Structure 1
Amino acid sequence: MELEETERRKLAELLSAYSDVFSTGPTDLGRTNLVQHDIQTRPGPPVKQPPRRMASGKQQSADEQIQQNLNSGLASPSNSSWASPIVMVQKKDQTYRLCMDYRVLNERTIKNAYPLPRIQDTLDTLSTAKWFSTLDLASGYWQVELTPGARQAAAFCSRKGLFEWNVAYLGHIVSERGITTDPQKVQKIQQWLQPTNVNEVRQFVGLASYYRRFVKDFATVAKPLHNLLRKHARFHWTPECQLAFEKLKELLTTAPILGYPMDSGDLILDTDASNFGIGAVLSQLQQGEERVLAYGSRSLTPTEQNYCTTWRELLAVVEFTARFRQYLLGKHFTVQTDHSSLQWLIRMKEPEGQLARWLEKLGEWMESGEERPSWEDVSPCGPATKPIGASGRDST
């Protein structure tokens, strides 16, 4: 969306008024005075590691970058009892990034359990937004000061001596239309070469799984790859694995634009089950159009694969009403299934065992007044898709 002339002028005035907050180069960094980062360690003597030998090219780059950090005030000479070695990591442009090997320090660090915000919760708040801006802090972690104790613990060594940091060291695309995958991440998936070992399979599946809510029946499609990750499984790249590998690439390339959940608008939860997995689609009626909010799926366990079709279909309903509970609470929703026997099963008078436990979970929705879902059979041979009971819709 293009800015109008008045909007362009207001934006220019805003940027001009706060021009001092923008970085003009790699050494032009700010420094917050609102907080200092601390590193708390368990009782015990400090850990000191010697500097590592490295090739001349890496060593020269390390010396230059350390000197730059000293000149800019990011680091300073240290007399700490702690010492962690530096490592040089090669970047795509063949230059090197200065890093520290803090694994030993991490083992001594007291973990902080403060909860980080979930990306999906943040994305869900954007439904009424029309304008979006992206601000990137220039070397953001370098703008947070370290406490004196943290500077000592994070000290690093090279052939030039011992130094300490004065500061801390260390994608979705959103628009008015909705949420899309990050083209750069998708391109990385597209360029992924055929895995040759379990570790490479795990890396690919991990990256692809980041966007699983964009892919219908992700778990079923990726099942051959997940099978390779089972404990004690022998790596054997089969035609099924290749098909799953290529299919995931294709699906992520053509991933839809997911809508934002709105306060108004009926929700629909379409559930389905196969011999190997269960899946669901959460959508919402928005301005007369049904918008997909998310896809959900998972593989069935060996025990669940022995369930009859009706039980697998019911499992899908139980699974995804729970998974998308935050969207369903306080909403009317419709559960759509292609298995008409579920309506009879849910009305069973005296259920026992697993069935009783599932129906107890669904009872929250069946007895909650205005939140009560309706049920639709959308199977080709089933009855007309007329909701049964109170009007409502469900999400996945």
Structure 2
Amino acid sequence: MPSVIATGTPVEKLELEYARCMRVNSEELDLEPAVYHHEGSELMERLKDELALLPELLDLSPECDITKADVGELGLSTDTQNRKLRGILKHHRKIFLGDGNAAPAPARGVVCDLDVGDARPVAQRPRSIAPHIMIKVYELLKKLLETGLVEHSESPWASPIVIVLKKNGIDIRMCIDYRVVNGFIRLSNYPLPLIDDLLVGFESAMWFMSLDMASGF
């Protein structure tokens, strides 16, 4: 979607852009054809490392039921200890997510710098999106803006949207095609830490936790 100059909040700008795009017939747009991939296809498997997948937000804030948390260890921890642990979890319940497609609050304070050397910014042409798909794209972008997971940008770099049709042929996943940008990025080289060195750092620790990253895009 080519951008238009508009004032207001990012969501208001999105609404104006959406209304404009829905008024214009897709045959009248001087845009590259839309790219659609089917979920689970061989082509999608090859491209998955080159595309940034935006999270689905069917439920923005499902509550986490702390009472169902599996705490303590049978035969070792006492009821008092279990209650104290549940109390700690309840006190920090805002940082826990319920089941579903909820996304965590956006991380702040960390800036990721991508070294592109002397490359000039590349603003790729947007691709046309069918009106029935545009509605779903608009709804997802609006939710992402409202939750602060994406921000309006006037960057000289621009990468096109890629729509992935789910297996049911109706729902979509929205991705960003960063293949051109990836070609300019200079990869950082650093040695992997030794396992023995990592274990030394754990020798005085009492509690261990394994976390899996989610909704990274």
Q: What's the TM-score once normalised by structure 1's chain length?
A: 0.29
Q: What's the TM-score once normalised by structure 2's chain length?
A: 0.49
Larger radius of gyration: 1
Higher RCO (CA 8 Å, separation ≥ 6 residues): 2
The structure with the largest strand share of the pair is 1
